A and B are shown apart, each in its own frame.
Chain A
């Protein structure tokens, strides 16, 4: 921000004075005068400048003279008339005109914040988002860094570019928001009273479609990310039986959240959002109908294939029943001790009856919990106690 100053290189102060005295007179220079006319009249010889004259010359702003901004004011003297060089000399009339053309200094109006009334409406002053204007913001505000050693304050708002850089919220006061709301109210309709509860909303509108629009300051208004479509659905809103749900979950994999019972399907393979949306709907439909189908190979499922803990399919069931039957058979032999708890068991000939007894049901529940919730100290302790109770009767 350096202010440019006119170049003043070869023309020094002392060459000016010598030219003024008539020595070393270069042709083409505008206005050359002998200023010591009074002395010259009396003595008829070239006089050296008096101290007064030297003082006068020193007053002259030679730099301004050299750049042509100021002309020398020459006293009229008939003996020593001003030498006029056609095409170069500047006549006195022209000088006067040039001086008249001088522009008066600029008058600045007061900034707006000084002319504001306290009861004005700020929304009229600052209606939309705008860069910080020092002349409009009525409160004193400063921004800038000062060293802790300096006692100066940070820069004030006038001429502070830092304040212009940062975003401001002078267009988002509560009054502004109120006005915006009032303006768009006519486009709004009341929310249906029947849908005030979220659960009712979920029941009537089970499918949630998520898309995103992008506004960017770029050369194109299209954004490739806008094609992404996500649909979400609570699995409880689909009509599925035991088998269908099991198959559905196996087909869906990790797209189903067990905690929230929400299925999430995403699609971005097609170039346009509409195509992706239709593809997700197609996926959902296909999944639903496929899971209701019963294929012949599904009968071959074993314990490992099941998602949930299935007691009838477990090897544990067979083993437990087998063990108990063996214990019962041993009981019939003389001299063998059997846990008291097993003494009351029904006849070994019917495994179904044995299965329904309390101790087996307890064992089944504990084992089921162990599979469902995973192993931890608490679960393992429970399992240990139940097993001991079953086998030893403790």
Chain B
């Protein structure tokens, strides 16, 4: 093997990586603070044709929560001294979202927004503007009735309708 400057570099790098006594490579090893931001999680992958529609919420990165977009669950369980019901609240939120996903299948244009005020649970969001208005009214009553029974407290569904493409913020 001919020794070229490139080979030398590789050899030097190998020397660097090889486990050995600390003093042999400590001079060329520098550290810095960890940039603790996983910017790949929760981001939507783009398409080649830039034709994948995103809502405003989807278009904002998760680490911008509370900066450019707000939370989907509004409750007091993260306040100081209010931790008693926090696990219940989180589990209930998951249950409500799953319920909405099934009962309002393919109807919600946004994420389900769950707000809690005093002992009330408010489920809000945008749904598709479908011709069957009676269906929406039925679903509203159905959801309120069933969730109130499950959660043992009043549940209100405050939905609004929008056109299919009206919530599209951008295409990726």
Name the distance in Å between B104's Cβ and chain A's nearest Cβ. 13
Complex Cα gap A277–B57 (Å): 51
Judged by DSSP, the binding face of A is loop
- On chain A, the residues within 8 Å of B72 by CB distance are 165
Q: Does A155 contact B (CB under 8 A)?
A: yes
Q: Is B76 an interface residue (CB 8 A)?
A: yes
Q: Interface extent on B, as a size class?
A: 35 or more
Is A159 within 8 A of B166, CB to CB?
yes
Cβ-defined contact, A218 with B88, below 8 A: yes
Scan B48-91; emit 1 where CB is below 8 A from any A CB, else 0: 00001111111010001001111110111000011011001100
Q: Are B131 and A135 in contact (CB under 8 A)?
A: no
Report if A131-B84 is in contact (Cβ < 8 Å); known contacts: A1-B109, A155-B56, A164-B160: no
Cα distance A158–B163 in the bound complex, in angstroms? 10
Rounded to whole Å, the gap between the CB of B126 and the closest CB of chain A is 6
Question: Which residues on the A side are within 8 Å of B36 (C-beta)?
Answer: none
Which residues of B are found within 8 Å of A131, using beta-carbon distances?
Answer: 113, 115, 122, 124, 158, 160
Complex Cα spacing A129 to B120, Å: 12
Given A106-B129, A158-B166, A159-B166, do A130 and B52 touch, yes or no (CB 8 Å)?
no
Using A130-B158, A161-B167 as known contacts, say yes or no to A215 and B70 having CB atoms under 8 A apart.
Answer: no
Would you give the shortest CB distance from B107 to chain A, in whole angstroms?
Answer: 11
Residues of B within 8 A of A144 (CB): 56, 68, 169
Chain A residues bordering chain B, tally (CB within 8 A): 34
* Residue B148 CB within 8 A of the other chain: no
**How far is B64's CA from A224's CA once the two chains are assembled, in angstroms?**
36
Known: A160-B56, A161-B56, A161-B167. A217 touches B160 (CB 8 A): no
Other-chain residue from A135, A167, A215 in contact with B118 (beta carbon distance below 8 A): A215
Which listed residue, B68, B110, B160, B168, touches A145 by the CB 8 Å rule? B68
Q: Give the shortest distance, in Å, between B88 (CB) and chain A (any CB).
A: 5
- Decide yes or no whether B117 CB sits under 8 A from chain A: yes
Q: Which A residues, 214 to 243, have Cβ-Cβ distances below 8 Å to chain B?
A: 215-219, 221, 223-225
Whether the pair A164, B125 counts as a contact (CB closer than 8 A) is yes
**B85 near A161: Cβ-Cβ < 8 Å:** no
Asked if A363 is an interface residue, CB under 8 A from chain B, the answer is: no
